[in-house]
Homo-oligomer: A and B are copies of this chain.
Amino acid sequence: MSRPRVLNDDELLDRARDIFWRQGYAATSLRDLTAATGLSSAALYNRFGDKAGLFREVLRRYADTGLSAERLPRLAALPDPRAAITGFFEDLLALSEAANTPSGCLLINTVLDGGAEAPETRALVRERLGEVEVFLRTQIERSKAKGLLPARIDPPVAAEGLFGTVLALRVIARLDPDPVRLRRLIAAGLSPLGLSVPAATSP
């Protein structure tokens, strides 16, 4: 019925994502985005309204592909909820050590960057990060119900602590991405629960 798109939304958003991720929202210009996508600014505006609209779609897809749509449900389906928790942190470690991807978490960067100024964007970031916290709290409650955690554990406090470990992990991944530091941080976060993540496999 009409001229076909030279680049589908998913591929386009992935390319835009890498630029936003590396540079932040404010520091990324429309010209950076046209260079990365190969599309004209007019084409981007026709499809996403404006820069903030494009960024919001980038965030939405980032959250969908990075966490919610795949990773969290898969982990939540594990029979042992403790494995869901440790598996989540193992995944984060693997992400931090992956060479081809920018460091840190785009959602968390956006909290401290000016990128979450717009209320819609702010709400999106809060909601998607909230999903992570809910996941962690749920797994802690499941574990506690099965008697798999020390009795002294208070689920809301422990969940807040684990979520804090996630945030800290993603900040340190940008500040000083030393795998030893990251593993030490995870060890500190998991140890109150009596959990741990396997040591790095020597190459």
- Interface of A with B (CB < 8 Å)? 23-24, 26-27, 104, 108-109, 111-114, 125-126, 129, 156-158, 160-165, 167-169, 171-172, 174-176, 181, 184-185, 187-189, 191-192
Q: Are B27 and A157 in contact (CB under 8 A)?
A: no
Hey, which chain B residues are within 8 Å of A156, CB to CB?
184
Give Cα A175 to B185, complex, Å. Answer: 21
Name which of A104, A171, A188 has the most chain B CB atoms within 10 A of its CB: A188
> How many identical chains are in the complex?
2
Instruction: Say yes or no: A187 contacts B157, CB within 8 Å.
Output: yes
Instruction: Report the bound CA distance from A174 to B187 in whole Å.
Output: 26
In Å, the complex CA distance between A156 and B188 comes to: 9
Query: Given A26-B24, A104-B112, A112-B113, is A160 in contact with B185 using a C-beta cutoff of 8 Å?
Result: yes
Complex interface: chain B residues within 8 A of A169 (CB):
164
Residues of B within 8 A of A168 (CB): 163-165, 167-168
Closest Cβ neighbor of A165 among chain B residues = B164
Question: Are A171 and B27 touching (Cβ within 8 A)?
Answer: no
Given the interface contacts A184-B156, A192-B192, does A175 sit within 8 Å of B26 by beta carbon?
no
Q: Are B192 and A191 in contact (CB under 8 A)?
A: yes
5 closest A-B pairs by CB: A161-B188, A164-B168, A26-B26, A27-B114, A26-B27
Task: Across the interface, name the chain B residue whose C-beta is closest to A161.
Answer: B188
Across the interface, which residues of B come within 8 angstroms of A126, CB to CB? 175-176
Taking a contact as CB atoms under 8 Å apart, the answer to whether B175 and A129 are in contact is yes
Q: A23-B114, A27-B26, A112-B104 are in contact. Are A164 and B189 (CB under 8 A)?
A: yes
Q: Flag if B114 contacts A157 (CB, 8 Å).
A: no
Nearest CB of chain B from residue A142's CB, rounded to whole Å: 18
Cα of A42 to Cα of B169 in the assembled complex, Å: 41
- Smallest Cβ-Cβ distance to A105: which chain B residue: B112
Contact with A171, one of B108, B162, B175, B189 (Cβ below 8 angstroms): B108
